[in-house]
């Protein structure tokens, strides 16, 4: 009787250890779903996460990465679409269209923290129409401009230029400011003006 009492708990412990060991494997039984499976499929099937070639640079490093981080943070904070960016007071001011309103969001230099956010005014009808007509986002325009001219991004906005809707991105490089004009529908760099 004594040996049976010792064997049963030992078998239970062995069964529990085997079951727990199976929980720690990286392999999943067929048909099982990991807790991140939905996230992974959203990323690979056109979810909101950018593909590897669209991933912005480290926000704490490059000027482009900082500007992209500021735009993404402002859009996330407001739920709107950014249409203007200005470097000011050691940080960024981003104008975001939220429904029929214009919201100004100020972030720190790295684009990692919102410093201030305020509803500025009713969104101008021209700004709304231009933003609706643009197929290239502000972030896409910043990337195109930075690929054309390396330097510090100063500002960007959406405007009409000679009947063409363009993103105008100003970049300071080698002591001069250059304005890159990017077609807001195709993403093509149209010209670069130097001050």
The closest alpha carbon to 120, from 141, 103, 133, 145, belongs to 103
Instruction: Quote the pTM value.
Output: 0.69
Provide the pLDDT for residue 195: 80
Provide the pLDDT for residue 133: 96
Segments in the chain below pLDDT 50: 1-60
| C-alpha of 34 from chain center | 26
Angle between helices 63-78 and 138-148 (to 10 degrees): 180
Phi and psi, residue 24, nearest 5°: -90, 5
Contact 87, 151 (CB under 8 A): no
Provide the pLDDT for residue 147: 96
Q: Which domains does the chain have, with CATH numbers?
A: 56-194 (3.10.450.40)
- Under 8 Å CB-to-CB from 22, ≥6 apart: which residues? none
Q: How many residues does the chain have?
A: 195
- Under 8 Å CB-to-CB from 94, ≥6 apart: which residues? 70, 71, 74, 82, 84, 85, 86, 104, 105, 106, 107
């Amino acid at each position: 009787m004594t040996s049976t009492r010792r064997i049963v708990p030992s078998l239970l412990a062995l069964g529990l250890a085997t079951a727990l060991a199976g929980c720690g494997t990286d392999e999943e039984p067929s048909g099982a779903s990991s807790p991140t499976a939905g996230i992974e499929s959203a990323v690979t099937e056109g979810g909101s996460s950018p593909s590897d070639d669209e991933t912005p640079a480290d926000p704490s490093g490059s000027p482009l990465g900082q500007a992209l981080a500021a735009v993404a943070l402002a859009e996330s904070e407001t739920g709107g679409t950014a249409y203007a960016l200005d470097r000011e007071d050691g940080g960024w001011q981003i104008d975001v269209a939220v429904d029929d309103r214009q919201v100004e969001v100020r972030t720190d230099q790295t684009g990692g923290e919102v410093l201030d956010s305020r509803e500025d005014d009713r969104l101008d009808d021209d700004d709304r129409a231009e933003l609706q007509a643009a197929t290239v986002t502000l972030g896409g325009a910043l990337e195109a401009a930075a690929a054309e001219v390396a330097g510090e991004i100063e500002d960007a906005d959406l405007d009409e230029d000679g009947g063409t809707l363009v993103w105008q991105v100003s970049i300071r490089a080698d002591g001069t400011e250059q304005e890159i004009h990017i077609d807001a529908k195709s993403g093509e760099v149209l010209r670069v003006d130097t001050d």
